Amino acid sequence: MKSTYKLNKLAISTLLVAAAMMQGCATSEKIQSVQLGDDQLTCAQIKGEFTKLDKATADIEAKKTVNGTNVAAALLWLPGLAYTFYDAGEASRLISDRRSNLSAVANKKRCT
C-alpha cells in the first residue's frame, strides 16, 4: 500500500514538473496580418500600428536572447527551447506581413 502511495506521489510530481516546463515555453503574441478596418485607418492610426509592431518585434527578440526560461529549456527540455525559437520566427513572419499590409494601406492613402 505504501509503495503505491509513493508511486502515485511520484507520478503526480512528475506531471507537475512536466506541466511547469511546458508553461516555460516562451510563446509570442500572434498578430493578424490583415485586420478588419485597416482601410479605414487614418495616417496617424497607421503610424500607431507601426509603433505597436516595433514593440512586438522587440518583445520577440527579447524571448530569443539568453534568459532564465531559455537557459532552463536548454538544460532540462531542449524541445521547449526549439519551440520557443520556432514560435518567435512565426510571430516575426506575421509582423512582417502586417507591416506589408499597413504599408500598402499607407501608400494608397498617400501617408508620409
Percent over 90 (pLDDT), the chain: 41
* Alpha carbon separation from 66 to 43, 72, 78, 80, 83 (Å, rounded): 37, 10, 14, 14, 15
Helix axes 43-63, 78-108, angle to 10 degrees: 170
- The pair phi, psi for residue 109, each rounded to 5°, is -90, 0
- Identify the residue with better confidence: 56 or 69: 56
Taking only the tens place, the pLDDT of each residue in 60-108 is 888 777 677 667 767 777 777 777 788 888 999 999 999 999 999 999 9
Q: Where are the domains of the chain?
A: 2-108
Band (pLDDT 50/70/90 cuts) for residue 110 is very high
Taking only the tens place, the pLDDT of each residue in 17-45 is 555 555 545 577 788 889 999 999 999 99
Q: E strand or H helix at 33, and its extent?
A: none
Residue 88 corresponds to which cell in the numbers above? 518567435
